[in-house]
Amino acid sequence: MTSDNAARTPRGADPYTLYLGIQFFSAACFGMMMVVASLYEAKVALLAGWQLVLVGTAVEATILLFEIPTGVLADTYSRRLSVILGFGLMGVGFLIEGSFPLFLPILAAQFVWGIGYTFTSGATQAWLSDEIGEARANRAFLSGNQYDIAGALTGMLLAILLGRLSIQAPMLIGGGGLIALAVVLAWIMAESGFRPTPPENRSTLQRMLRIARDGFNAARGRPALVAVLGVGLTFGVYSEGWDRLWVKHLIDHFALPSPLGLNEVGFLGLLRVCGLVLSLIASRLLATRLDANHVPSVARTMMWTTALLAGAILTFAFSRWLAVSVLALWLVSLSRNVIAPLHEAWVNQRLDSRTRATVISISGQVDALGQIASGPIAAMISLWSVRAAIAGAGLLLSPAFPLIARADRLHANESASALSAVTEIE
């Protein structure tokens, strides 16, 4: 009784429509904050390069520590409550950051909104599947991605307009919007398809240990999967130095123009909007021309795209011309948005359905581990030079190339062994 009877809740909200609304509105709020966050931290809070990197590392460490515990709580008690708490905490975190332009409050804000993120991660999708069934939920997920993109673009455009008021205005309004979303969800979001775990069966530690054991066993028996996860670790290692420092590098080394009379917020907003549009075009072309189930094609595309990413980061770091830096920035955005689904598709190859979710979750944790490990290194380098820290991020992609080649070779060996075993049985 989780599909038609639950399609319209006692509060009158259709779960399918509500999910699409959540995707659009939350993406709009994040889009607003994304445009100004790095600029606000560098120009209003006057954070140094090492502080910017540590702020990012704090988010990743929080997500790494709380992802599984909050997921278990959502599975044990209530997905609806988890979603509401998550959006509320994320909103509070961004309000703290936008209200107190100092290093310690901003650091604390990352902890708050990072915990909030882990409450929503997976819980929203699980709630929808319980309410309307897996078949309709899967269709909603595909539609939700489009609403997510539309919301992000809307939020970025709103940030450009709100940036005329102040740099932190989009952050404060976006944070307030997430809190408002939590309040609305508390009023209209029902949970009729979920059955909480009986108290006598609630063993959080036991669940967490089982999840870790299943994921470890799945990876240990697949050398190719270990190599693919190693590629993901490399992507996590490079990203922290780039994500937190590229805006500071731009404002420190160039006089940013004012297109259409816009200020720095408007210029950075236009950069992000153009980068997202280019990424959408590239992703669309990739989806129509690449067979994601053909591992050699995936490996070859990842190899070339990773080379493009590394070259674009190095070009950005050493360029003396704003136009070249902007072009390099767009190439970084494009290549990253192509690599992400390619890596997900590669991780998803030949996984046992019983451990699929666990292994995919481990992939995300590996990325977070990479960012946490490289954060302090990038912070130390930035004490000497932000340009050097960004260039270092590009060079840190070097291990990805032999790992991609190794993963491709091991996967071919595994496929050949599997085919040989089937032939012998026949």
Q: How does residue 2 score in pLDDT terms, banded at 50, 70 and 90?
A: very low
The answer to whether the CB of 108 falls within 8 A of the CB of 224 is: no
Domains of the chain and CATH, by start? 9-191 (1.20.1250.20), 202-426 (1.20.1250.20)
* The pLDDT of residue 84: 94
* The pLDDT of residue 11: 52
| 195-213 mean pLDDT | 57
Q: Which residue has the higher pLDDT, 19 or 130?
A: 19
Q: Which residue has the higher pLDDT, 109 or 340?
A: 109
Q: Which amino acid is at 47?
A: L
| 392-396 mean pLDDT | 91
Name the least confident of 4-18, 65-79, 110-124, 275-289. Answer: 4-18
The answer to whether the CB of 67 falls within 8 A of the CB of 118 is: yes
The answer to whether the CB of 425 falls within 8 A of the CB of 281 is: no
How far, CA to CA in Å, does 18 sit from each of 7, 39, 88, 136, 224? Answer: 11, 33, 17, 13, 40
pLDDT at 129 over 70: yes
How far, CA to CA in Å, does 3 sit from each of 19, 83, 122, 136? Answer: 15, 20, 19, 8
**Spatial separation of the C-alpha atoms in residues 326 and 317, rounded to whole Å:** 11
| Mean confidence (pLDDT) of the chain | 80
Q: How does residue 164 score in pLDDT terms, banded at 50, 70 and 90?
A: confident
Proportion of the chain above pLDDT 70, given as a percent: 79
Q: Which residue has the higher pLDDT, 53 or 401?
A: 401
**Spatial separation of the C-alpha atoms in residues 52 and 41, rounded to whole Å:** 7
* The pLDDT of residue 422: 41
* The pLDDT of residue 353: 46
Question: Six-digit token pair at 180?
Answer: 């408002």
* The pLDDT of residue 8: 42
Taking CA 334 as the corner, what is the angle to CA 167 and CA 276, rounded to the nearest 5 degrees? 45
Helix (H) or strand (E) holding 355: none
The answer for residues whose C-beta is within 8 angstroms of residue 161's C-beta and 6 or more apart is none
